[in-house]
Chains A and B, each alone.
Chain A
Amino acid sequence: MRHIYLIARREYLSYVATIGFWVSMAMIPVFLLLGMALPALMDRASGVRNFTIIDHDGRYERAIEQSFMDDHADHILEFIDSLILVEGETEELLAAKKAAEENKSETEIRSILGTQRSMALAAKRESFNKVPPPANTIEALRPFLLEEKMIDTVRGPEPLHAVAFIYLGNDGIVQIEYWSANISERRLQGKIRRAVRDQMQKDEFSRSGIELALVEKISDLKPTITSLSPEKAADNAKVTAEDRLPFIISIIFAFILWSVVFSVANMLLTSVIEEKSNKILDSLLSAAPLRSILMGKLLGVAMVSFTLLAGWVLAGLVSMLAAGSVIDTGGAGKIASIISAAGDPWLIIPFFGYFIFGYLMFGSIFLALGSLCETLQEAQTLMTPMIFLMMVPMFALGFAMQDPESHILAVLSWIPLFTPYIMLARLPTDPPMIEIIGTTLVMVATTAIVLLGAGKVFQAGAMHQAGSDYFKNMFSKLLPKKQKKN
């Protein structure tokens, strides 16, 4: 035990006592936060883009204005839906949604949402702002478009992003001349084009004697859909955001499990390569039994992974709080419902169980491969098949996001190297008990075999100086020898 403890301790400290470890751990919430906040931050960074319309007819300008107002109403509705997803269908939110659907004023909707949510809504600014034209010809407007002159807005002087001239062409078709110095930004152009197109179609319906109200009525026809679960009581069968949360959390857990196992298995590989290339193994072998070295390393790096997990959990919480305040809603309800779903023992206990076996399988394989190599370059040859193998559950998890009850996932669950990740993702779908027990038994048995095999390879690598050609030699021994020609 002394040897295992000391080797594990050294292994643990060799990672945890470095600044790099903590910097990289700290980077995770930063990246997580950036990932979540990037679209909003980019939107804010670019500011509101002012544009103007010069429409000789006037009707298209009004259509464009209406289109922007409709978009804004849609944004409010989407915002309320996102709140419902994380906070559940509270009375307040349902009332706000009803108000939004009935095209009630923004002020009214905000009063229903409350101060904190309204502040988050206010943060969701529109990207574009229509302003009166500062001039009527392109010659006069050009200095504004080139930012040589500024327009006056309620926020102060700002540049003019674009101008659209709308007129009727000689062929009777409406023409839009879209002027902007920013040729890569095409959203505004698309919006204007869609609004004008809709107005043109309405005009044509009118000219053709088709009642516009009828057209709109037909266009608005859509079924209402309610998602219901037979597993819930009939009077309360409606599927809510809370019901969906375990599926999302289980897939996140499976991704975390995969990331941790992959990271720490790589740590084991580099650690043993370092010891082999630095010729430390002989000193170690004269001081501790081989199995203690193996177990010590596995335990030490497992502790590193627990530290990583603890850090990530903390980072996740910090990110959620920070992202909540930066982008959307904030709100204790959101955090509480996520924590409650993540803290479900039905997920947490299997998570640690699967972590142990997933880690032991991949960790011992990587450790054994490392013992055969002197350099990382040498290891790459042996690692490539393992990396491909490890990528399979990653792709499968992507698939699980679409359909966690797929037969392909059920089949992949029986492959022991994938079991920890796939089964974890499948758990909220309540797979048959026979599958849970069966895949677990196969996984445990495989782990034992892998550990034994890895021990043998490690012994060959560490004690007998076997090299990266170990497997080649082993297979060539198994193949029938060629008869020598006389």
Chain B
Amino acid sequence: MKNSVLSLLNVSKRFGGKRAVSNLDLQVEPHSITGFLGPNGAGKSTSIRMGLGILTPDSGEVLLFGKRPNYQALDRVGFLPEERGLYRKMSVIAVIVHFARLKGMKAAAAKSRALELLEQFGLKDAAYKKVRELSKGMAQKVQIISAIAHKPEFVILDEPFSGLDPVNQQNLEDIIRELAAGGTTILFSTHVMEHAERLCDRIVLLSRGRKIFDGNVEQALATIPNSVIIETDTADNPAKIFENLSSSVSSLPSKSSDSYRWSVGLNNGVDVQDILRSSVTNNLALRGFEPAKRHLHEVFVQLVAKDEQAAKGVQ
């Protein structure tokens, strides 16, 4: 915790009567990529704003580089807010230089760094264009450049993929990897699990302002059972055959009119080989057998659903 780049220690925040964040503990370790996940309204942006000192928590403590957020510490941070915007009447280079200078860079250094990044991001020709002349994707890139131009040690990206087309999403993934490879610590929030799964060393999942998961991707995937997809000749539900091995068997849309597909959820400690063995032993007319790959998406859906059900139960 002492070496954490960012620590949110038991922080809570309410807006009016509404609880936005509740007793949240979050540590962002140096040189890591941390995914800050959660559905809309889970409290991700509020937590980030508290982490930057933009909002003050009602209770708990925030430490940025080991101290309460201050503007010396913030000079070491690059921030891409969820609600993005730039000065539309300014030129691209002027905007980047302005934000880099606000973060403590000298004018000449800021300008040469801006030109270097614009070239790297394929925007060299747009350097002296007005921001209002840019496409959304280009403006997004300029915003990212503005956030990282001052060579921050810690970059916070709030929903960086929203509004980007798949090509630009891939570009942004590459940029994040590149920054991380250069030693920058990254915290990014998203509710698109694919990006988190591909990029993160660690994920923190928020629901209704509370942390419901904190660990690496493998640990997250382990929270949902293994499953296997089988294809049979008959319409009979094979649940009985896997009675002792499976927690659930559910029908899936079939690929052809003479076959039936099933998703078989595996109990803890059960291997896909056990399902195959049981199918053969019980003469199940198998036409297909495919161990299913677990994704963060299912983890997200399941954990959030579980949390919401628990909340309803409490109510």
Which A residues fall within an 8 A CB radius of B? 2-3, 6-7, 10, 14, 18, 274-275, 277-280, 282-289, 463-464
Contact = CB atoms under 8 A, between A and B. Distances in A.
Contact of B15 (A286, A289, A464): A464
Contact of B52 (A2, A280, A286, A464): A286
Contacts of B90: 10, 14
A119 B49 CA distance: 73
A22 to B, nearest CB: 15
A286 B85 contact: no
Contact of A283 (B71, B79, B101): B79
B54 A285 contact: yes
B146 interface: yes
B104 A2 contact: yes
A3 B71 contact: yes
Contact of A279 (B54, B77, B83, B99): B83
A289 B82 CA distance: 19
B97 to A, nearest CB: 10
Nearest to B143: A283
A286 B154 CA distance: 13
A371 B147 CA distance: 23
Given A280-B86, A464-B15, A288 B81 contact: no
* Leading 5 A-B pairs by shortest Cβ distance: A279-B85, A278-B85, A282-B81, A279-B83, A286-B79
A284 B71 CA distance: 12
B81 A286 contact: yes
A283 B81 contact: yes
Interface string B64-99: 000000010010010101111111111000000011
Contacts of A287: 74, 79, 99, 102-103
B102 A3 contact: yes
A279 B84 contact: yes
A464 B18 CA distance: 13
Contact of B81 (A7, A10, A279): A279
A192 B20 CA distance: 85
29 contacts: A6-B98, A6-B101, A6-B102, A10-B98, A14-B87, A14-B90, A18-B89, A274-B87, A274-B88, A275-B87, A277-B85, A278-B86, A279-B81, A280-B86, A282-B49, A282-B81, A282-B83, A283-B85, A283-B99, A283-B143, A283-B147, A285-B54, A286-B74, A287-B74, A287-B79, A287-B103, A463-B49, A463-B54, A464-B55
Nearest to B82: A282
A288 B85 contact: no
A279 B102 CA distance: 17
Contacts of B104: 2
Among B15, B49, B54, B82, residue most surrounded by chain A Cβ atoms (within 10 Å): B54
Contacts of A464: 15, 55
Contacts of A289: 71
B123 to A, nearest CB: 18
A14 B83 contact: no
A284 B86 CA distance: 10
Contacts of B103: 287
Given A283-B146, A285-B54, 4 more contacts: A7-B102, A274-B88, A279-B81, A283-B99
B71 A288 contact: yes
B71 to A, nearest CB: 6
Given A14-B90, A464-B15, A282 B54 contact: yes
Contacts of A288: 71, 102
Contacts of B52: 285-286
B267 to A, nearest CB: 47
